[in-house]
Structure 1
Amino acid sequence: MLHADWSRYRLLFNFVAITSRARMAFKDTYFIRIYDDCDPERIVITESPLFAGLSAEDAPDYEARLDRVCRDVGTWNYTEDETCTLASAESSIRFALECGAAALRLGQGSRDGVPALPTQSPWTRGQRPVTINGLVWMGDIATMSRRMRGKVEDGFSVIKVKIGALDFDAELKMLKTLRDIAGGDTIIRLDANGAFTPQEAMERLQRLAPLNIHSIEQPLRPQYAAELSDLCRHTPIPIALDESLITRPADIERTIDDVLRIRPQYLVLKPSLCGGLGCADMLIRVAESEGMGWWATSALESNVGLAALGAWVDDYKPTIPQGLGTGALYTNNIEVPQLRLEGQYLWYRP
């Protein structure tokens, strides 16, 4: 019979991470340990990465919901793909259950517990890496310039820059400096985290366009769906939806309808925020059928969740860099020895 228990863990940032939405010194996450009392050698560890203040399921009773899920694990028939993945209506918990069930089906597990990987692929066998983008968090111009130089020196061909927390004129000047540092061959993605207003968004995109920006994530907040749709039709810079995709599994069809109405150029997929792996798969099918690009990004998971994301996205054989370089953000990340970041390449070496 299967059993499960959960624990909360506080991840500590190496620095105060600044976005237009918040300043973060730590992030709490949850781990679920799943094991069979008839087979003590089969313990898997999976992450339920609630994002406080952002996840659709962020509520005071979240831990009570984890209690219920862990009590129900004994009823799982994990050999059936859908049985346990539908056991929770919450994106982060469903992500954890999908990873755990898949890992058990694949025969993963050890006495000490291993991170649950939802697939077996060339990446999980150490045969190829997942290419990732570098990430430059917000800060003053000296700090961001230093971080940009570091990413360029580390060999990143695509670098994502957080914007929206400072005066726009100052940010524009800073971005010009960062473009000079990066050079013309480096691809720059921007992430505004909904910092612009509908009234100012187009003018700001026009001023950013000469910097040869690959894309900008979520220039407007999700509630401005109609304005986002209009912006996507006329934008000089391709727009990627991120926060607009945050949902519960039960609401994924509504989210798909929103995507089809807004028609962005890209989707940024965070499975633990957008309904779990199955819902992220649905969004990818929509994107590809509608000619939209996509990439996957971490929702600041620990190395446990990051390894699961790497395994999942590698199944798609991605051709553009993914946003899975957040493992070095923390001073106390969970050690997953197989997970290695080498420049712009994320490896899993079993």
Structure 2
Amino acid sequence: MYSLKIFPRTLHFKQPAGTSRGVYHVRQVWYLLLTDTETGQYGVGECAPLPALSCDDLPDYPRLLAEICEKTAADGRIDYEALRPYPSILFGLETAFAHLQAQSLRFWDTPFSRGTQGIPINGLIWMGNFDEMYRRIEEKMKAGFRCIKVKIGAIEFEQELELLAHIRQHFSASDIELRVDANGAFRPEDALRKLTQLNEFQLHSIEQPIRAGQWEAMKALCVASPFPIALDEELIGVNEIERKKELLDTIRPQYIILKPSLHGGIRGAEEWISMAQERGIGYWVTSALESNIGLNAIAQWCATLHPTMPQGLGTGLLFTDNLDYPLHIEGDCLWFHPEEETPDFLTFLNRI
């Protein structure tokens, strides 16, 4: 028998997180406390839909979450098929069960969870004005990041080109890998021209150059683009297996980016990976502004995939009111230090 309690919380960013869709100052999450009523052992998960982006960002989310948790506790299992439309809830439940079963923050046994190997990550440059982004780029390069991801689409395109030129003036493509994320900011009629201009800077890839849902336009861009395109928002809400196959077969991107909170939980992300590999499409894993509870779950799972290319796992460290975790960014890798003290979940949750 299980019980499931829900703890809503508002997290506060250390600094505003800017994207082409707006600026985040706070973040609403729901923590789940899953308890085995016979043993008293528990696991913690995090449900964190992104406003105006997640397919399960619904007005009645708290009520829906309560109903699903009540049923899951009564059944003693996760109904994956019924929860396909609710990836953030599925992710929270999956990781609460994984934590309960492992009775440790080391959900799976990997070199990462043993603290002997870090996961390579990109240095993320949030949107801001020109001077802010310039300063952040300088900080990431000095910190030793070998892969930098720049969010574009909020300031003048010519200024964004200038920022990329600054990086390339100091570091070649063999020194620093450059990725950009447009968050769908380009218009289809302008996108190829902008991609051609961006290609001057020897970019690794661009995420979501045009807004999601324009499959034929995105397909044409993936064919014509002088450098690889990665899909992100395009995957949101595509939850059924046949629809996933249809998307990949239609667009044929070079990469997909997987965020379990947005793209079907861990099981759903694994479906995407399997389908992508069958089609010769690459992928990497990214967190989606979860706190350290969600970030740890994603990182522990990501480590089972034995990643060699930089992943997007730096965003769990963005909040002033996080729960301390044995997660640390050292150089350009995320590390897990198992020897550190285990967080006091119950005290943390009861403070909410």
State TM-score, norm by structure 2: 0.91
Residue 303 of structure 1 contacts residue 334 of structure 1 at CA under 8 Å; is this kept in 2? yes
1:121 corresponding residue in structure 2: 110
Q: How many aligned residue pairs are there? A: 336
Question: What is the deviation of 1:6?
Answer: 0.7
Question: What is the deviation of 1:100?
Answer: 1.9
- Quote the Cα distance in structure 2 between the aligned partners of 1:247 and 1:119: 28
1:91 corresponding residue in structure 2: 87
SS in 2 for 1:127: coil
1:202 corresponding residue in structure 2: 192
Question: What is the deviation of 1:61?
Answer: 1.1
Question: What is the deviation of 1:4?
Answer: 0.6
SS in 2 for 1:213: coil
Out of 117, 125, 134, which is 2:123 matched to?
Answer: 134
Matched, 1:268 2:257: yes
2:218 corresponding residue in structure 1: 228
2:347 corresponding residue in structure 1: none
- Quote the Cα distance in structure 1 between the aligned partners of 2:276 and 2:213: 21
- Quote the Cα distance in structure 1 between the aligned partners of 2:79 and 2:118: 30
1:44 corresponding residue in structure 2: 43
- Quote the Cα distance in structure 1 between the aligned partners of 2:99 and 2:242: 27
1:112 corresponding residue in structure 2: none
- Quote the Cα distance in structure 2 between the aligned partners of 1:95 and 1:27: 17
Out of 172, 183, 186, which is 1:193 matched to?
Answer: 183
- Quote the Cα distance in structure 2 between the aligned partners of 1:16 and 1:103: 31
Gaps of 5+ in 1: 110-114
2:136 corresponding residue in structure 1: 147
- Quote the Cα distance in structure 2 between the aligned partners of 1:18 and 1:24: 6
Change (3 A) 1:10 1:248: farther
SS in 1 for 2:321: coil
2:302 corresponding residue in structure 1: 313
- The letter of the residue matching 1:275 is G
2:319 corresponding residue in structure 1: 330
Q: Residues 8-28 of structure 1: CA distance to partner in whole angstroms, max 9, x if unpaired?
A: 111111222111111111111
2:17 corresponding residue in structure 1: 17
- Quote the Cα distance in structure 2 between the aligned partners of 1:45 and 1:240: 32
Report 1:272-283 matches (<5 A).
272-283=261-272
Question: What is the deviation of 1:348?
Answer: 1.3
- The letter of the residue matching 1:308 is A
2:336 corresponding residue in structure 1: 348
Residue 148 of structure 1 contacts residue 181 of structure 1 at CA under 8 Å; is this kept in 2? no
SS in 2 for 1:216: strand
Residue 130 of structure 2 contacts residue 155 of structure 2 at CA under 8 Å; is this kept in 1? no
Residue 34 of structure 2 contacts residue 97 of structure 2 at CA under 8 Å; is this kept in 1? no
SS in 2 for 1:10: strand
Question: What is the deviation of 1:215?
Answer: 0.2
Residue 84 of structure 1 contacts residue 101 of structure 1 at CA under 8 Å; is this kept in 2? no
- Quote the Cα distance in structure 2 between the aligned partners of 1:188 and 1:63: 39
SS in 2 for 1:321: coil
Question: What is the deviation of 1:219?
Answer: 0.1
- Quote the Cα distance in structure 1 between the aligned partners of 2:14 and 2:98: 32
Question: What is the deviation of 1:154?
Answer: 1.1
Question: What is the deviation of 1:334?
Answer: 2.1
- Quote the Cα distance in structure 2 between the aligned partners of 1:129 and 1:206: 35
Matched, 1:301 2:297: no
Out of 167, 170, 177, which is 2:159 matched to?
Answer: 170
Change (3 A) 1:140 1:179: farther
SS in 2 for 1:194: coil
Q: Residues 44-98 of structure 1: CA distance to partner in whole angstroms, max 9, x if unpaired?
A: 11111111111101111111111112212333445xxxx4544634100011111
Residue 230 of structure 2 contacts residue 256 of structure 2 at CA under 8 Å; is this kept in 1? yes
1:259 corresponding residue in structure 2: 248
Question: What is the deviation of 1:158?
Answer: 0.5
- The letter of the residue matching 2:100 is L
Gaps of 5+ in 2: 339-352
2:231 corresponding residue in structure 1: 241
- The letter of the residue matching 1:339 is L
Moved more, 30-39 or 172-181: 172-181
- Quote the Cα distance in structure 2 between the aligned partners of 1:26 and 1:188: 28
